[in-house]
Structure 1
């Protein structure tokens, strides 16, 4: 007789992989688990730079975002049946907030996703997730890198002809953009977070 496993059932994926809907029904799933290509991705604890950068961007964006939009932190987005990543920050249309119990948004509800790159998620944040966001039609993407404790923001816009992101700027001290809305963020403020 085989010994009973102390591992949770969700540790063993079904043959066809998990679905976006499964994330709401798997018991005792760790917080911030993502679904990429039908596989569960467990998130490591975040470093101080990551947390402070997300805090800075959320606070700054909330000061400038138009009333028709909302800033959301660490909410998953259903991009396809087997894709449900959780960007660090999303800018969504206000009407997408349907209920206080909702656990995700749909790609059509999202205007901008932002990923703050961590060492353990570098490949996903730089390559895989931007590709998925672009394929799902999310118009804007920002990737934030750590340059000796200072954030560097790489800004991208979706090219509708190719369904791929094209770079529109690299911001080291200040992010000043007019799309998807006017924003002016002093990146040096990270020292106050």
Structure 2
């Protein structure tokens, strides 16, 4: 980063791949800065409806979490050369407590789709989470509709799609009742 009197902040890219320390150069401005295989990916700030769904998911999961489990909004996951920030991360008991969670500590990641993240949340991020061995992935699409996926040898398989007005009890990562329409 370079600055001068009366100048705008200017960022410079590293000479090689982006790494986790490079993420600390960015301001806390609402953008989501992530690294995918050494390449920087930036998502614009998310709107209030998106944030309301994230808060409701965190509340739902925390309310059902057995003692020792952690439910966190925007806790980063370090998956090899990628540093991803899911909307919601559920950590198993006895996890390391590192700033960037180790995938072996993660039981579930949740992505809430937005207009600027739809393809990223549907295609790229699930493949990276699966490659890292995270056993459960939820994706929330418009409606809201919950798509609950479980990791198989072939990647994530959609175990259940839950419509907005359904009330369903899921068993993983721990027993939890979900009603997507209550999240908006």
1:170 to 161, 165, 172: 161
Kept in 2, the 8 Å contact 1:115–1:143? The answer is: yes
Q: After superposition, what is the alpha-carbon deviation per residue over 1:116-160, rounded to whole angstroms, capped at 9, x for unaligned?
A: 00111111100000000000000000000013xxx100010000x
| Residues 1:152 and 2:154 aligned together | no
Displacement over 3 Å in runs of 4+: 4-9, 27-32
Q: Relative to structure 1, is the Cα distance of residues 36 and 30 closer, same or farther in structure 2, using a 3 angstrom cutoff?
A: farther
- Matched with 2:41 is 41
SS of the residue aligned with 1:119? Answer: coil
Which structure 1 segments of 5+ residues have no match? none
RMSD: 2.1
TM-score (norm: length of structure 1) = 0.82
- Matched with 1:141 is 137
- Matched with 1:8 is 10
Kept in 2, the 8 Å contact 1:20–1:80? The answer is: no
- Matched with 1:188 is 181
SS of the residue aligned with 2:56? Answer: helix
| Residues 1:55 and 2:55 aligned together | yes
| Residues 1:95 and 2:94 aligned together | yes
Q: How many residues align?
A: 176
Q: Relative to structure 1, is the Cα distance of residues 74 and 171 closer, same or farther in structure 2, using a 3 angstrom cutoff?
A: same
Structure 2 distance, partners of 1:59, 1:52, is 11
Structure 2 distance, partners of 1:22, 1:96, is 25
Structure 2 distance, partners of 1:28, 1:116, is 23
Kept in 2, the 8 Å contact 1:13–1:39? The answer is: no
Which structure 2 segments of 5+ residues have no match? none
Kept in 2, the 8 Å contact 1:175–1:187? The answer is: no
Specify which structure has the higher proportion of helix: 1
Q: Relative to structure 1, is the Cα distance of residues 152 and 27 closer, same or farther in structure 2, using a 3 angstrom cutoff?
A: closer
| Residues 1:104 and 2:96 aligned together | no
